[in-house]
């Protein structure tokens, strides 16, 4: 006798249901007493970032600055000036913070989370990246966890650690909203350096500057530096910035080694070739940079580069964009020769340019470092 399809389907469904019920009773005996699955779920450990907080938090310090009231002298009085945060980067006692946290300070105080307090020595500052390195003399310092291979990406969960409004160490949570955001400079002769910032919606308030942005493992992702404000009286929530770890570490190492950051300088202002630029200039499928202007006394002009030149390669490597080209130039040592492939009036040319040191802001930084010494 043939079983009707409907009865066969219902029989299989009932058999499958009985099998699932038997498995649930086998693995969850408490269900025999009428326990509900939501009760079981509620007993599981809730998501927590305590591991990252406890791993990174001790290495984030509070920074207090004081300055002399009136002219310096025997009767001059040191008065509180500002506050911020910092990050202990190594056992030698180097603390990384923001330049604007310690700018114009006559005395810098570093307070650890375990109660230790030190007068800090200023090692060096880099105004262009808003970074400063301090030194404290101590043993058994907690050091922020660091991963040189870390590559932050949009959507990564991050924690901002600092001392907002001097209420004590506070941790806020968010995600990385964007990377490579808002360069603080361009390749132009009047620019003031460049910086690829991480954008985050983790709250960064006054006093958080110089603190740590870490991932859920507690590894340093960046140095908190700024929150975006629409105007002087109105705040824009959820738009904060941090200096990426790799850039901050490179700047710190240079400040420790040289007391200043040595940057290569080419002296051009350029625009990246996109489909619109390519169409306007009849460049076809060429990809690279178009020189908009030059410093007449800069290395590019001395090497024969002209306004309107299309830059295609640097030392034989194709130029992928303004940021990549700028990195190559800035990280080149003064005196290094660079072979630049260009197109001029439709004809290929090979130019040799000698990189010079970027001294445009060095005098300002030297004066600031001298005035800020504790």
Please say whether the dihedral angle defined by the alpha carbons of residues 54, 56, 57 and 59, taken in this order, is positive or negative. Answer: positive
Concatenating the DSSP letter of every residue in 28-91 gives -GGGGGT--HHHHHHTSPPP--HHHHHHHGGGEEEEEEEEEESS-STT-EEEEEEEEEEEE-ST
Secondary structure tally for the chain: helices H, strands E: 9, 21
Q: Please give the pLDDT value at position 235.
A: 53
CB-based burial label for 101 (10 Å; 0-12, 13-18, 19+): buried
Q: Please give the pLDDT value at position 193.
A: 43
Catalytic residue among 209, 270, 341, 372: 209
Domain definitions of the chain by residue range = 48-69+77-259, 264-360
Tens digits of pLDDT across the chain (374 residues): 555 665 666 666 777 777 777 766 666 665 555 555 555 444 445 678 999 999 999 999 999 998 877 665 555 565 666 789 999 999 999 999 999 999 988 999 999 999 999 999 999 999 888 999 999 999 999 999 999 999 999 999 999 999 998 899 999 999 999 887 644 333 333 343 446 789 999 988 888 999 999 999 999 999 998 765 544 545 556 688 999 999 999 999 999 998 888 888 898 888 777 777 667 766 667 778 888 889 999 999 999 999 988 888 899 888 877 777 887 888 888 899 999 998 888 888 999 999 998 876 565 454 444 333 32
Q: Please give the pLDDT value at position 32.
A: 59
Residue 209 annotated among the catalytic residues of the structure: yes
Residues whose CB falls within 8 Å of the CB of residue 341, separated by 6 or more in sequence, listed in order: 311, 312, 313, 314, 316, 348, 349, 350, 351
Nearest-angstrom CA–CA distance, 67 and 243: 27
CATH number of 48-69+77-259: 2.40.10.120
Other CB atoms within 10 Å distance of the CB of residue 73? 7
Residue 139 annotated among the catalytic residues of the structure: no
Catalytic residue among 126, 130, 309, 358: 130
Phi, psi (degrees; rounded to nearest 5) at 119: -85, 125
Q: Which residues of 328-362 are buried (b: 16+ CB within 10 A; e: fewer)?
A: bbbebeeeeebebbbbeeeeebebebebbebebbe
Tell if the pTM clears 0.85, that is, is over it. no
Residue 269 annotated among the catalytic residues of the structure: no
Fold of 264-360: Pdz3 Domain (2.30.42)
Contact between 184 and 192 under an 8 Å Cβ cutoff? The reply is yes
Catalytic residue among 67, 100, 186, 295: 100
Strand partners, 354: 337
């Amino acid at each position: 006798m043939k079983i009707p399809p409907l009865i066969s389907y219902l029989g299989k469904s009932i058999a499958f249901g009985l099998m699932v019920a038997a498995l649930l009773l086998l693995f969850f005996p408490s269900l025999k007493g009428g326990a509900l699955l939501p009760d079981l779920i509620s007993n599981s450990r809730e998501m927590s970032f305590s591991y990252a907080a406890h791993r990174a938090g001790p290495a984030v310090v509070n920074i207090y600055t004081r300055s002399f009231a009136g002219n310096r002298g025997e009767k001059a009085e040191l008065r509180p000036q500002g506050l911020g945060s910092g990050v202990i980067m190594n056992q030698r006692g180097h603390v990384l913070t923001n330049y604007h946290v310690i700018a114009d300070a006559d005395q810098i105080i570093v307070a650890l989370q375990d109660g230790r307090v030190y007068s800090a020595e200023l090692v060096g500052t880099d105004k262009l990246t808003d970074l400063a390195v301090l030194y404290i003399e101590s043993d058994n310092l907690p050091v922020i966890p660091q991963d040189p291979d870390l590559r932050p990406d949009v959507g990564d969960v991050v924690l901002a650690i600092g001392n907002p409004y001097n209420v004590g160490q506070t941790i806020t949570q968010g995600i990385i909203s964007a990377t490579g955001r808002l360069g603080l400079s361009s390749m132009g002769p009047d620019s003031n350096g460049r910086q690829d910032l991480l954008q985050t919606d983790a709250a960064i308030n006054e006093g958080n500057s110089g603190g740590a942005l870490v991932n859920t493992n507690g590894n340093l992702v960046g140095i908190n530096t700024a929150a975006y404000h629409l105007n002087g009286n109105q705040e824009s929530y959820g738009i904060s910035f941090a200096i990426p770890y790799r850039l901050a570490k490179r700047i710190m190492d240079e400040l420790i080694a040289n007391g200043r950051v040595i940057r290569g300088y080419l002296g051009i202002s350029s625009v990246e070739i996109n489909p619109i630029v390519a169409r306007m200039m009849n460049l076809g499928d060429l990809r690279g940079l178009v020189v908009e202007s030059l410093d007449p006394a800069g290395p590019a002009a001395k090497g024969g580069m002209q306004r309107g030149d299309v830059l295609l390669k640097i030392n034989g490597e194709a130029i992928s964009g303004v940021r990549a080209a700028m990195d190559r130039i800035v990280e080149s040592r003064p005196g290094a020769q660079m072979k630049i492939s260009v197109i001029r009036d439709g004809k290929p040319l090979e130019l040799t340019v000698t990189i010079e040191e970027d001294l445009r802001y060095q005098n300002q930084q030297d004066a600031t470092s001298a005035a800020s010494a504790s």
